[in-house]
Structure 1
Amino acid sequence: MKSQRIFPGIILIGFGAYFLLQQIGMTLFPAFFTWPTLMIIVGIAFLGQSYSGNDSEAVLPGVIMTGFGLHFHLVGHVSFWPQNTIGMLILIISIGFFLRFQKTGSGLFQAFLFLIVAVLLLFYDKIAGYFGLLQNGMSLVWKFWPVLLILIGIYFLFKKKK
């Protein structure tokens, strides 16, 4: 019975604190009165449900929502934070799948798949320069690598289970 009250409890406490601080005009953290903060609160509620309530399926949405909220808070304010939003969001999803794998034993393939895509997106310029893709005529292939992702996705959708 305890595990069913963790998620709504954290949501109510988090949203209540958020709106109370906003209503009393707390100016200590004015940048936190935005939608990414609400995403973090919901993500923390999912993580609380996952780790305290033994609901292993709540790990992935918890990491994704908390990570996305943190990313959108940090992207414009911290100098070392990567500016490539798509690459970071995919990396956060990958981390979620790794943590889900740690708790459930499933999702390792997805974790590595998202990690590879995130690394490609985050370090595109360095990878292209390292392999000299722009100089040796491979730029056309490199430009259309998302088509490969689409084809692999279609394969997984229609692959028959043995």
Structure 2
Amino acid sequence: MKKQHTLAAYLLIGIGIFFLLQQLKIPIFSNFYSWQTIIILIGLVLLIHSYATKNYHNLFSGTIVLGLGIHFYGLSYYSFWIDHWAMYVLIVGIAFIIRFLQTKEGLLPGILLIGFAIIMLFSIQLPVWLNWIYVIIDFMERFWPIIFIVLGLYLLKRKK
């Protein structure tokens, strides 16, 4: 019989450790007493729960929550952190790849999203012979919500 409440147990343990460390005021952990750390903690709990129970439906969401927590933490505490919208696309692409490693689903979207994010992140420094990409990037930056809506509708309507 599977344990029914393992996700809640991991979450309570993680939050308990977070607040215990906060009360102990250990200097080495002083930068980790933030809302970003709680997001990272929730993402880690989802990932640990998925691997511990071998029920991989939380891998995707756990990776996204963990990635967002790391990204927000990096924005708050590191001046070199990249503050670009393509980081969110990169996080979703990585989530697809992490899920693919266990479920064998989502490799193509993961690769496409990671590739797209890398191109967008480094689009400022493209060589001269790739100037045509700037036209596409400008179009996509202007109409990306519509592109997402069309892709979402396509995914809903396509037959497997």
TM-score where L is the length of structure 1? 0.79
Quick check: 2:120–2:137 contact (8 Å CA) kept in 1? no
Paired residues for 1:118-157 under 5 Å: 118-127=117-126, 129=128, 131-133=130-132, 139-146=134-141, 147=143, 149-150=147-148, 152-153=150-151, 156-157=154-155
Q: 1:111: which partner in 2?
A: 110
Match of 1:15 in 2: 15
For 1:28, what is the secondary structure of its paired residue?
A: helix
Q: Deviations over 1:35-94 (max 9, x none)?
A: 11111111111111111101111111111111211222223444654x134222221211
Q: 1:11 Cα shift?
A: 0.7
Q: How many residues align?
A: 157
**Amino acid of the structure 2 residue aligned with 1:23:** Q
State the distance in 1 between where 2:84 and 2:6 align.
Answer: 31
How many angstroms does 1:17 deviate by?
1.4
Task: Determine the structure 2 residue equivalent to 1:67.
Answer: 67
Change (3 A) 1:55 1:23: same
Q: 2:50 touches 2:56 (CA, 8 Å); kept in 1?
A: yes
* CA positional deviation for 1:26: 3.4
Identity %: 31
Question: 2: CA distance between counterparts of 1:25 and 1:158?
Answer: 50
**Residue of structure 2 equivalent to 1:39:** 39
Structure with greater helix percent: 2
* 2:118 aligned partner, one-letter code: V
Contact 1:3–1:52 under 8 Å retained in 2: no
Equivalent-residue separation in structure 2 for 1:128 and 1:156 (angstroms): 34
Aligned to 2:159: 161
1:6–1:48: 8 Å Cα contact kept in structure 2? Answer: no
How far off is 1:27 after superposition? Answer: 3.4
Distance 1:77 1:53, change over 3 A: same
Q: Is the deviation greater in 1-10 or in 60-69?
A: 1-10
Q: TM-score, normalised by structure 2?
A: 0.80
1:96 matched residue in structure 2:
95
